[in-house]
Amino acid sequence: MKRREFLRLVGGGIATWSRVAHAQNQNMPLIGFLSSRSPEESKPHLAGFLRGLEAFGYVDGKTATIEYRWANGQYDRLATELTGLHPAIIAAAGGAPSARAAKLATSSIPILFVTSDSVSEGLVSSLNRPTGNVTGVDIMSGELTGKRLELLARLVPAGSAFAFLTNPNGVQSTLKTKTTDIDRAAHALNREVVVVGASTDIELDSCLSMLAKNRVAGLVVENDPFFDSRREHLIGFTAQRLIPAIYHIREFPAAGGLMSYGASLVDAYYQMGVQVGRVLKGANIADLPVIRPTKFELTLNLKTAKALGLAIPPNFLAIADEVIEWRLTPPLMTQVDMPPASHTRGYYSQGNSTDKNGPPLLRHSR
C-alpha cells in the first residue's frame, strides 16, 4: 500500500472515531447511512432524507451524528464497518444491495431501506408485517415496468421491436417476474419486446451495440443500481443512436435522457427519514409497516424528444408532471448538480435464449 493511501485511511479512521466519540459524549444518536450510490448523484435524495429527520428534531452535527458509507460495490465490508460503530439505526439506501448487506451484518440494529420489490428481494416477508429488524420504503418499481412500456409506446410508432434492459444478476426481482410484467404489457399493446441483460460494462456495451444494430424502436431500462451508475453512458448512447428510452427516475431526463416514470425518490427518502425519526423517538421497528409511495413522476425532456424526431401529442404533455425544455448535460456525459425536484401529482395505473455472439438475449416476446 502506498504511503499516501495509508495515511488517508488512517486519517479517515481517526476522523470517524472522533465523530462517534463526540456523538456518545453529547448523548446524540449515531445514524449509519449506507448507500449503493455515489454522494454526487444522491444529493436531492439525501436532502429529502435529512428533511424527514429534521421533522423529528434530528439535525446532523447538532442533535444527531450521521456516519455515511457510499458503497461503490463494497456493500458487505461497509455494512460491517457501520455495525462495528454500534449506531442506533442504519438507513440503507440506493436499492436492495445495501439493505441486504446491512441485514446480513446485524439482526439487532434497526434497518430502514429505500428499495423496490422488497418482498421478492427477500428483505421482508410481508409489507404490512415485515417483522424482525427491517422495514422501510418500497418504491414498487418492478410493478411499473409495464406502465413505462405503455408510455414509451404512445410516443413511438408501431414497427420495430422494443427492448427491455435488465440486470440478470441484480436483486430487484426475479427474472420470471420481470419478464412476466413486460410480456403482459407487450401483449396488451400488441408490440414486440426483446429482453436483454447486462451486469458488467462489457456486457452493457455489447448489449447496446446489438440493440443499435437491430434498430430497436425504443428502450425500457430497469431500475437497477448498476444502470443508475452508468446514467451518462446510457444517455449518451441513446442520444447518438437516436433510440428513445424511458427510465425510472427523473435524474435521467434531467441529465438529457428522454423521459422517466416512477415513484418520487425525494419523497421516498423523506419517508425513510421520517421512519428513522420515529424509531429514534421510541417506536418499535417491528410495528412499522413498509411504506409504499403516493407520489409518482412522469418527467419528459422536450428538447431530447425533438432531437429524437418525436412528435409529442398535447394529451401526453398534459399528463406529464414535469416538462424539461433544456438539457442539463450534452449527450456525452458531464457531471452536474441536479435542479430541485419538481412538485408532483400522483397517478398510477397499472423469454430465455442466448445469443452466442453477443450479450444475453433473455426473452423475445410479443
**Tens-place pLDDT, residues 113-153:** 999 888 888 899 999 999 899 999 999 877 888 999 999 99
For the chain, the average pLDDT equals: 82
Answer yes or no: do 283 and 314 share one domain. no
The pLDDT value recorded for residue 24 is: 53
Pair (50, 122) in one structural domain: yes
* Whether residues 97 and 215 fall in one domain: no
pLDDT > 70: what percent of the chain? Answer: 78
Q: What is the mean pLDDT of residues 148-163?
A: 90
Q: Residue 53 pLDDT > 90, yes or no?
A: yes
Closest C-alpha to 338, from 189, 182, 198, 231: 231
Asked if residue 160 and residue 245 are part of one domain, the reply reads yes
90: pLDDT confidence band, cut at 50, 70 and 90?
Answer: very high
Indicate whether 303 and 317 sit together in one domain: yes
pLDDT at residue 74, as a whole number:
64
State pLDDT tens for residues 165-195: 998 886 554 555 556 778 888 888 888 999 9
Mean pLDDT value of segment 215-229: 90
**Between residues 86 and 4, which one has the greater pLDDT?**
86
What per-residue confidence (pLDDT) applies to 19? 54
Question: What one-character-per-residue DSSP string does 251-308 give?
Answer: HHHHTT-SEEEEE-HHHHHHHHHHHHHHHHTT--GGG-PPB--S-EEEEEEHHHHHHT
Segment 213-230 mean pLDDT: 90
* pLDDT higher than threshold 70 for residue 345: no
Alpha-carbon distance values, 111 to 107, 114, 125, 175, 324 (Å): 9, 10, 15, 26, 36
Host domain of residue 177: 142-263+295-365
253 and 118 in a single domain? The answer is no
Largest CA distance in the chain: 67
Mean pLDDT score, 243-271: 94
Of 139-148, 252-261, 340-349, which has the strongest mean pLDDT? 252-261
Do 149 and 237 fall into the same domain?
yes
Q: What's residue 96's pLDDT?
A: 85
C-alpha cell at 17: 472515531
CA–CA gap between residue 154 and residue 260 (Å, rounded) = 14
Q: Are residues 94 and 7 in the same domain?
A: yes
Count of structural domains within the chain: 2
Stretch 241-260: mean pLDDT: 95
Q: Residue 78 — pLDDT band, cuts 50, 70, 90? A: confident
* Same structural domain, 159 and 281: no
pLDDT at 244 over 90: yes
Cβ atoms 160, 215 nearer than 8 A: yes
pLDDT at 43 over 80: yes
Answer with the residue of higher pLDDT: 274 or 331: 274
Q: Domain with 34 in it: what CATH number?
A: 3.40.50.2300
Is the pLDDT confidence value at 109 over 50?
yes
pLDDT given for residue 39 in this prediction: 85
pLDDT at 83 over 90: yes
Cross-strand partners of 194: 163, 364
The answer to whether residues 55 and 204 belong to one domain is no
Q: What's the CA gap between 260 and 262, in Å, rounded?
A: 7
Burial of 88 (0-12, 13-18, 19+ CB in 10 A): middle
The better pLDDT of the pair 152, 23 is held by 152
Nearest to 106 by CA among 125, 89, 83: 83
Whether residue 357 sits in one domain with residue 272: no
pLDDT on residue 349: 24
Same domain, residue pair 161 and 280: no
